[in-house]
Structure 1
Amino acid sequence: MTIPLPVFSDRAEAGRRLGEILADRGVADPVVYALPRGGAPVGLEVARALNAPLDLALVRKIGAPRNPEVALAAVIDGGHPRTIINEDVMAASGADWGYLEAERRTALAEIDRRRRLYLAGRARVDPAGHTAIIVDDGLATGATARAAIAGLQAQGARRIILAAPVAPRALAQALGDAVDAFVCLIEPEQFRSVGAYYGDFHQVSDAEVIACLDASRA
């Protein structure tokens, strides 16, 4: 079935629609972890709907050589940063371990910059014992989501819910097996790109991420 585009006017609308579904499910002890930057405006609306704290899952994608939009791997912040590798992409791209390690160091440096900029000394929300809800504005390859899932599992989250406005059907089915629940508004078989499903899909700035965190604490 062809899905008329765009589906969402902007990220805030997509977040409100996700929040309505999650609120109806009566999620216990939720903490919303948005994937910056695009996931922050979506996560803010989900957090508002659930009356839950908003935090960030600081994940950085590692792109394939000569094709940086294709996710080779992803790194997530934490006491022991974790790297999730897309083995199929690594094999097809010809990337070696030297490339991966160099890109991993670059990704960790950017994560550190974002941590200091976005959080500015704010206390993190410990996922241990809570239902961690990972939110993004859409999923294309799932590499960053998988890294966030692994990181929050390692930090002791009691349950993990992945929530996204849009994801390819095959990916949605695969990721659904990796979490306790997966909430996705549309799962097209003929997936274009995440941005194709939005009227407004501007690049979210650092200032917008900080504003979302501030708004969630107001």
Structure 2
Amino acid sequence: MPIPPEPPIMFQNRHDAGRQLADLVAERVPDADLVLGIPRGGLPVARPVAERLNVPLDIVAAKKMGMPGNPELAIGAAASDGSAWVDDDVVERYDIESEYLETERKRAAETAREKTETYRDGRSAPEMAGETVVIVDDGVATGATARACLRQVTDADAERVVLAVPVGPPESLADLASEADEVVAVEEPERFGAVGAHYREFGQVSDEEAADYLDWEPAE
């Protein structure tokens, strides 16, 4: 059996991806009011977008909800405000009980809330009501975390919610369009594999490094 070709590398690193994404977002969403990075890997990408748009940068956090007995397999995700997205097809296929879902939702939401408080370090949450908000990550695969984040921002009464990523599979990006007013992606490769496969450098981002990217104030 022939070995399938490797997915194409499209970005040198997250900074390169952020610069390319910033160019595209500036064309598509020039009137954005706020950029939110999904930690940790989304913040190095979000910072160039916020700088290009000259708007504030903050975070929106969510945590995956794991399958019973296999926590690495996502059955959904919960955001820091408790809002969640659940993969109903997976829940039905594996007959996952509602009590487990609620317990896992609370656990994931609490983890996301703690992460949000740590990153903000006492700063208040940004006002999103009536605003155009761009949510940025370093890429999407299944999109579970992105869905939960989109729902949180929508529930905060943002007027327009845009998801912007450097790369993602076409089917996932199309599905996410049902949660966002617009989805912006630099690349939508048919041969996807995983997010990191499209980066030459895709190392772990520490909490300390990610938090440093939030040290940004737009020019008056």
If the length of structure 2 is used for normalisation, what is the TM-score? 0.89
Residue 6 of structure 1, CA deviation: 1.9
Q: Relative to 1, partners in 2 of residues 1:4 and 1:102: Cα closer, same or farther, differing over 3 Å?
A: closer
Partner of 2:198: 197
User: SS state of the match for residue 31, structure 2?
Assistant: coil
User: SS state of the match for residue 209, structure 2?
Assistant: helix
Alignment of 1:150-189 (within 5 A): 150-189=151-190
Residue 191 of structure 1, CA deviation: 1.9
Residue 53 of structure 1, CA deviation: 0.7
Q: Is the 8 A contact 2:80 2:111 kept in 1?
A: no
Q: How many residues align?
A: 214
Residue 97 of structure 1, CA deviation: 2.2
Q: Relative to 1, partners in 2 of residues 1:30 and 1:150: Cα closer, same or farther, differing over 3 Å?
A: same
Offset from partner CA, 1:42-82 (integer Å, 9 cap, x none): 1111111111111111211112234434321111123xx21
In the alignment, structure 1 residue 59 sits paired with structure 2 residue 72: no
Q: Is the 8 A contact 1:167 1:186 kept in 2?
A: yes
Offset from partner CA, 1:82-107 (integer Å, 9 cap, x none): 12111112223443223322322321
If the length of structure 1 is used for normalisation, what is the TM-score? 0.90
Q: Is the 8 A contact 1:64 1:89 kept in 2?
A: no
User: SS state of the match for residue 214, structure 2?
Assistant: helix
Residue 4 of structure 1, CA deviation: 5.6
Offset from partner CA, 1:120-141 (integer Å, 9 cap, x none): 1112211111111011111111
Q: Is the 8 A contact 1:84 1:146 kept in 2?
A: yes
Partner of 1:32: 35
RMSD of the alignment, in Å? 1.9
Residue 3 of structure 1, CA deviation: 7.7
User: SS state of the match for residue 183, structure 1?
Assistant: strand
After the TM superposition, which of the residue ranges 61-70 and 34-43 deviates more from structure 2?
A: 61-70
Q: Is the 8 A contact 1:33 1:55 kept in 2?
A: yes
Partner of 2:74: 71
Q: Relative to 1, partners in 2 of residues 1:70 and 1:191: Cα closer, same or farther, differing over 3 Å?
A: farther
Distance 1:160 1:3 in 2: 33
In the alignment, structure 1 residue 46 sits paired with structure 2 residue 49: yes
Q: Relative to 1, partners in 2 of residues 1:102 and 1:5: Cα closer, same or farther, differing over 3 Å?
A: same
Q: Which runs of 5+ in 2 are unaligned?
A: none
After the TM superposition, which of the residue ranges 121-130 and 65-74 deviates more from structure 2?
A: 65-74
Distance 1:191 1:29 in 2: 29
Q: Relative to 1, partners in 2 of residues 1:58 and 1:188: Cα closer, same or farther, differing over 3 Å?
A: same
Q: Percent identity?
A: 39
Distance 2:203 2:71 in 1: 19
Q: Is the 8 A contact 1:127 1:156 kept in 2?
A: yes
After the TM superposition, which of the residue ranges 154-163 and 25-34 deviates more from structure 2?
A: 25-34
Q: Relative to 1, partners in 2 of residues 1:60 and 1:4: Cα closer, same or farther, differing over 3 Å?
A: closer
Partner of 1:217: 217
Q: Which runs of 5+ in 1 are unaligned?
A: none
Counterpart residue type for residue 78 of structure 2: V
